[in-house]
Chains A and B, each alone.
Chain A
Amino acid sequence: MAWNVKPEELLQYDYKVPQKNWMDVPPEFKPGTWCYPAKAEILEYLNKATKGDFPHIREWVPTDADWKLPEDWRERIKKGFRERLDKYRSFKVFMDVCVRCGACADKCHFYIGGGDPKNMPVLRAELLRSIYRGEFTLAGKILGRLAGARKLEEDVIKEWFLYFYQCTECRRCSLFCPYGIDTAEITMMARELLHLVGCNINWILEPASNSNRTGNHMGIQPHAYYGMMEFMCDDIEEITGVKVNCPVNEKGHEVLFITPSGDIFADPGTYTYMGYLMLFHEIGLDYTWSTYASEGGNFGLFTSDRMMKKLNAKMYAEAKRLGVKYIIGGECGHMWRVLNQYMDTMNGPADFLETPVSPITGTRFDNAAGTSMIHITEFTSDLMKHGKLKLDPSRNDDKIVTFHDSCNPARAMGLLDEPRYVIQNVCNNFVEMPEDTIREKTFCCSGGSGLNTDEFMEMRMRGGIGRGNALRHVQQKNGVNTLATICAIDRATLPPLARYWAPGVEVYGVHELVANALVMTGEKPREVDLRQEPLPGME
């Protein structure tokens, strides 16, 4: 069923709070606010692959009164809770130190665009904290509700499912919290607990299972993946007259390149993908792609630490098998959170790899000495700084460009200026959106952490209001028509968002813009851009 609520209707909300105590407001499953549960066959496959990490498979729908939880669901939750408190100091400290100051409250895009107070990060965390107090603290056991504790009832599980799958783990709230309480971390724990009683969503687990089996979340098999690449090479030849090389699964190269598979499959990501092929060909990089490790995005991050580790392990395994020196990673949001914060710890030390050194400029990337993995915009900005690329930015003159910082590279890494530098080298018209909506304060695309599914469209558009408004602002003020980004999920989620809140703005990957401007050796005079649309002056 198509979702067709108009913006005027969607905006019928305010920031009023109910009269009742929040503990007495039951969760309500309205269409467009929750995602479909995981299919049984997906769970069965994952269970085999993980030796039972996804128990209690059954047919169920969140709108049912009875969720058919396992008999011993309370014990499972309590045990799982205790284990996680013992495993993560972050979780334990965050359960204890919130002062409910509310500084985080209006930082969450889902609250801003929906007004449901349980989407205030502080209250989202309280959904879990109230159980923590009731089960694990003396004060909570004695004083009960006076100490903010409540009983573990089935409604609590329903509430968790609703609201922890209404958090995109974007960490915007964490930036503003005086103690750095990270609701994303709490959401991750809650989702792990929900797995223990068989409550999870298909849009996360199917990609996770695909990534495990075929190497990419789309489930594309190696021959098909290669076929798509060849198809792109043909397109590139048609546009530029240059036949680019596309090495796949080849041993003995210097670099392994990994990017999210969403970009090989759907527009506008495909153009970014073509951009990589063109850039690497032009500089003569000694590199290879891999079909086995053909997914940058890690859907395990939205599942559990075990799944995240399992999927991530492919990158090093493949680098080792192919015998490369280091890895370059493409434009992807969550992939970079996992890479920057988890990868080396989970699957390292990567002592069989070397500190990345750009073969073109000789720059040593000491900030990636351990992980041996660099971001494509780190690599490309360095090329540009050293004048190694021949660029004609006027080919992008029909575009007035702004940049959307993706949550993860921005708030879990701090990758802010490299992409901007790259864009400014290939585009003559660049403007920033208002300062409270970019860089570390950036807004989520509202489809992160595995929530970019169609049945969740209402929440996505609500959550998109922050980014949509900022975009609309520069569209009206500066005539912006191009939104550049460095995340494949963005490239999937921002087009509908822009159509809804800022119609007329198109979404681009940064390396698509690079490829448009890139003057390649032996190319024919270009008439069209990568989208086969006439270049400025060629209309």
Chain B
Amino acid sequence: MNALYSLFAVFALVVIALVGAGAAGMEQLFGLYIPWLAIAVFLLGFVAKVIGWAKSPVPFRIPTTGGQMKSHDWIRHDKYDNPATAGQTFVRMALEVLLFRSLFRNIAVQRFGSAADGVDVKVRYASAKWLWLFALIFHYSFLVVFIRHWRLFLDPVPSFIVALEAVETFLQIGVPTLYMSGAALVLGATLLLLRRFLVPQVRYISQAADYFPLFLILGVALSGIVMRYWAKTDIMAVKEVTMALFSLNPAVHIEGVGAIFFVHVFLVSCLIAYLPFSKLMHMGGVFLSPTRNLPNDSRARYHRNPWNDPNVKAHSYTAYEDEFREKMIEAGLPVEKTLEEAAKTEAQ
């Protein structure tokens, strides 16, 4: 159900763009104003969210440690899973963000034997790197596609983008030559979707908010591919629009670009405007996670908690001794005050 709703929602967006920019001829709106609005929403939303997070303090150092702490010098310290310094923490974060270290660790539970085996039934783990692989394909192809698009916004096109494209197309498939990242993005998103459909547990936890972005990204990728390989959109006209977008120049004439371009741009606009309000914010959140971005050094160094309540105090030793003094003395335990002294204080 959740998946269907999401699929329909993306279809609806496509139709809106087709009708709006095609039949109703609102090219200006779909080509410029909506993207501007989307970018503004994205920037404001993103910043607001990050500031919102940052406003809440990190009172305690709570890293989840993934290896041996720094201890004796003759015990091997697991620097990047259990960092003790800012530099080591940086490497840990880099491994996480660039290589999805935690997902690489993933293992999947398996049960062998029947219930009748009693204590000899086996629950074992097996390596499970599928999610890691799918996620890696998906995110990296997305990144490459994203960078590749800069050529539309930059004039002259920087040489590293030209180089990137050369790498991307070295297989020389089709005319125009296939960008591998585009195909990989579709593949990655499809794999992630299939995983959501086919693994019962994952389906059970999936919400509309999980399918929608995947369908949306698929829509973006497919409309882009259609535009490049079938609709054969006039690339110079497109570049004119994108340059106008970025120079904030509404005077440009958007003609002869083709409806599919507006579908693409509209879906992208929806995606970037949706991002700050959705789980896609994990993009920013991953950097702020206190279990990952802190060194494990709270025994070595003092850290302050801004809201630490000084009024929370231990049950005092005095109160403790007052309650148990007699018994302590009888047992031969040292006390601060003898019975007479205590009686005197009480009398006062």
- Among A100, A250, A414, chain B packs the most CB atoms within 10 A around the CB of A414
Q: Which residues of B contact A49 (CB under 8 A)?
A: 315
Min CB distance A296 to B, Å, is: 15
Min CB distance A539 to B, Å, is: 28
Q: Contact at B69–A180, with CB atoms within 8 Å? A: no
Q: Contact at B69–A413, with CB atoms within 8 Å? A: yes
Q: Which residues of A contact B49 (CB under 8 A)?
A: 96
Q: Could you say which of B20-28, B55-63, B178-186, B246-254 contacts chain A?
A: B55-63
Complex Cα distance, B64 from A162, in Å, reads 25
Complex Cα distance, B94 from A444, in Å, reads 29
Min CB distance B63 to A, Å, is: 8
- Among B116, B300, B301, chain A packs the most CB atoms within 10 A around the CB of B300
Complex Cα distance, B5 from A502, in Å, reads 49
Summed over the interface, the residue pairs from A and B with CB atoms below 8 Å come to a total of 336
Which of B74, B115, B200, B209 is the one whose CB lies under 8 Å from A8? B115
Q: Contact at B60–A103, with CB atoms within 8 Å? A: no
Q: Contact at A415–B62, with CB atoms within 8 Å? A: no
Q: Contact at A11–B115, with CB atoms within 8 Å? A: yes
- A283 within 8 Å of B by Cβ? no
Contact with B along A300-323 (1 / 0, CB 8 A): 000000100111011001100100
Q: Contact at A175–B68, with CB atoms within 8 Å? A: no
Q: Which residues of A contact B106 (CB under 8 A)?
A: 103, 176
Complex Cα distance, B290 from A22, in Å, reads 29
Q: Which residues of B contact A339 (CB under 8 A)?
A: 299
- A88 within 8 Å of B by Cβ? yes
Q: Contact at B64–A171, with CB atoms within 8 Å? A: yes
- A159 within 8 Å of B by Cβ? no
Q: Contact at B52–A341, with CB atoms within 8 Å? A: no
Which of B2, B302, B333 is the one whose CB lies under 8 Å from A226? B333
Complex Cα distance, B309 from A50, in Å, reads 12
Q: Which residues of B contact A254 (CB under 8 A)?
A: none
Min CB distance B274 to A, Å, is: 9
Q: Contact at A310–B53, with CB atoms within 8 Å? A: no
Contact with B along A67-103 (1 / 0, CB 8 A): 0000000000000000001111111111011111111
Q: Contact at B72–A292, with CB atoms within 8 Å? A: no
Complex Cα distance, B250 from A272, in Å, reads 78
With contact pairs A8-B115, A96-B49, A414-B82 given, residues A147 and B208 touching in the complex (Cβ less than 8 Å): yes
Q: Which residues of B contact A223 (CB under 8 A)?
A: 324, 327-328, 330-331, 333
Q: Contact at B109–A106, with CB atoms within 8 Å? A: yes
Q: Could you say which of A120-128, A233-241, A509-517, A518-526 contacts chain B?
A: A120-128
- B314 within 8 Å of A by Cβ? yes
- A500 within 8 Å of B by Cβ? yes
Q: Contact at B303–A291, with CB atoms within 8 Å? A: no
Complex Cα distance, B296 from A142, in Å, reads 41
Q: Which residues of B contact A181 (CB under 8 A)?
A: 289, 291
Q: Which residues of A contact B82 (CB under 8 A)?
A: 414
Nearest CB in chain A to that of B277: its residue: A139
Q: Contact at B65–A93, with CB atoms within 8 Å? A: no
With contact pairs A12-B115, A378-B72 given, residues A341 and B61 touching in the complex (Cβ less than 8 Å): yes
- A418 within 8 Å of B by Cβ? yes
Contact with B along A254-290 (1 / 0, CB 8 A): 0000000000000000000000000000000000000
Q: Which residues of A contact B312 (CB under 8 A)?
A: 50, 306, 309-310, 313
Residues of B in contact (CB 8 Å), total 107
Q: Contact at B282–A179, with CB atoms within 8 Å? A: yes
Q: Which residues of A contact B108 (CB under 8 A)?
A: 106
With contact pairs A6-B118, A340-B298, A412-B64 given, residues A367 and B70 touching in the complex (Cβ less than 8 Å): yes
- A185 within 8 Å of B by Cβ? yes
Contact with B along A369-390 (1 / 0, CB 8 A): 1110100001001100100000
Q: Contact at A178–B331, with CB atoms within 8 Å? A: no
- Among B100, B201, B312, B316, chain A packs the most CB atoms within 10 A around the CB of B312
Complex Cα distance, B282 from A441, in Å, reads 24
- B285 within 8 Å of A by Cβ? yes
Q: Which residues of A contact B57 (CB under 8 A)?
A: 87-89
Min CB distance B75 to A, Å, is: 5
Complex Cα distance, B302 from A117, in Å, reads 40
Q: Which residues of B contact A86 (CB under 8 A)?
A: 55-56
Which of A7, A176, A292, A436 is the one whose CB lies under 8 Å from B317? A292
Nearest CB in chain A to that of B210: its residue: A100
Contact with A along B275-304 (1 / 0, CB 8 A): 001110110011011111000101111111
CB-contacts of B21-66 with A (<8 A): 49, 52-66
Q: Contact at B307–A87, with CB atoms within 8 Å? A: yes
With contact pairs A89-B290, A182-B62, A309-B312 given, residues A345 and B317 touching in the complex (Cβ less than 8 Å): no
- A503 within 8 Å of B by Cβ? yes
- A152 within 8 Å of B by Cβ? no
- B170 within 8 Å of A by Cβ? no
With contact pairs A96-B285, A139-B277, A223-B328 given, residues A340 and B201 touching in the complex (Cβ less than 8 Å): no
- A146 within 8 Å of B by Cβ? yes
Complex Cα distance, B313 from A309, in Å, reads 8
CB-contacts of A338-385 with B (<8 A): 339-342, 344-346, 348-349, 363, 366-371, 373, 378, 381-382, 385
Min CB distance B222 to A, Å, is: 22
Residues of B within 8 A of A (CB): 2, 5, 49, 52-72, 74-76, 78, 81-82, 84, 96, 100, 102-103, 105-109, 111, 115-125, 131, 135, 199-210, 277-279, 281-282, 285-286, 288-292, 296, 298-305, 307-309, 312-317, 320-321, 323-324, 327-328, 330-334
Q: Name the 8 nearest CB pairs between A and B, nearest first.
A: A414-B69, A97-B285, A223-B331, A313-B314, A180-B291, A11-B115, A414-B65, A180-B292
